[in-house]
Amino acid sequence: MSDGISQIIGEVREKAISFHERYVAEQSKNERLQVELNASRIELEKQNALIESLNLTVSSLKQELETTKNHNVSASEGKMVSNDEIDELVKEIEYCIGQLKG
């Protein structure tokens, strides 16, 4: 073989080795990224489950709040005193005061 051909074969061999090393490095990087991607997907699923749970809790609390508001409104409506009842109580108080003075 001539020196020129040997030199070309050597250069091709070096390039092939270089390409193979880059390929192995990229393959390793790809595997690391796949592991990271899978971990991120698992974390995303956990966070989505947490969000769903929190949304259910919020809905439940909103419903409970609405029920409590409705209960308080109906309870306070039941305790309202009419003007006639107030007038009657004022008269009773004035009578009692009059009895105490007299």
More confident: 2 or 13: 13
pTM: 0.54
The confidence score (pLDDT) of residue 55 equals 92
**CA atoms of 23 and 9, how far apart (whole Å):** 21
Residue given tokens 């070309």 in the structure block: 8
Is the C-alpha dihedral spanning 26, 28, 32, 37 positive or negative?
A: positive
Instruction: Indicate if the pLDDT at residue 65 is higher than 70.
Output: yes
Number of separate domains in the chain? 1
> pLDDT tier at 77 (50, 70, 90 boundaries)?
low
Range of the domain at 41: 3-101
Integer Cα distance of 50 and 46 in angstroms? 6
Average pLDDT for 47-69:
91
Q: What is the mean pLDDT of the chain?
A: 88
pLDDT at residue 90, rounded to an integer: 87
* Residue range 22-53, pLDDT digits in tens: 999 999 999 999 999 999 999 999 999 999 99
